[in-house]
Amino acid sequence: MDDRTEDVCANLAIDRIRDIGRTANFVLPENCFRHTFISARVVVTGSVAQASLEAGNSPQMVHTHYLELMTKEEGEAWFASAPGVK
């Protein structure tokens, strides 16, 4: 992760993205973007403690609610994704 500290996007942007996804018939559970961030961050850093600190959750909360199986390569690809990147 680089040194950026600003939000990735404003709350209204996330609401709009969720609306577009649902309009396109994607199933987007609540907090799916947050869930994916935390899961990817754990495998990329190898640290539940670091991911929980960055997400504002306790390590126990990460273990209980957000930890999903994801490979390090999948996590790195998720963080490398950007508009126009294939």
pLDDT tens-digit series, residues 30-73: 888 888 899 999 999 999 999 999 999 999 999 887 777 789 99
Query: What does the pLDDT read at residue 30?
Result: 81
Query: What does the pLDDT read at residue 41?
Result: 93
Outline where DSSP puts E strands in the chain: none
Find the length of the chain.
86
Tokens of 17: 């993205």
Sequence-separated (6 or more) residues with CB below 8 Å from residue 39 = 66, 67, 68, 70, 75
Q: How far apart are CA 85 and CA 34, in angstroms?
A: 21
Query: What does the pLDDT read at residue 58?
Result: 94
Query: What does the pLDDT read at residue 81?
Result: 81
Domain chopping of the chain, boundaries: 30-86
pLDDT tens-digit series, residues 1-23: 456 666 666 667 778 888 888 88
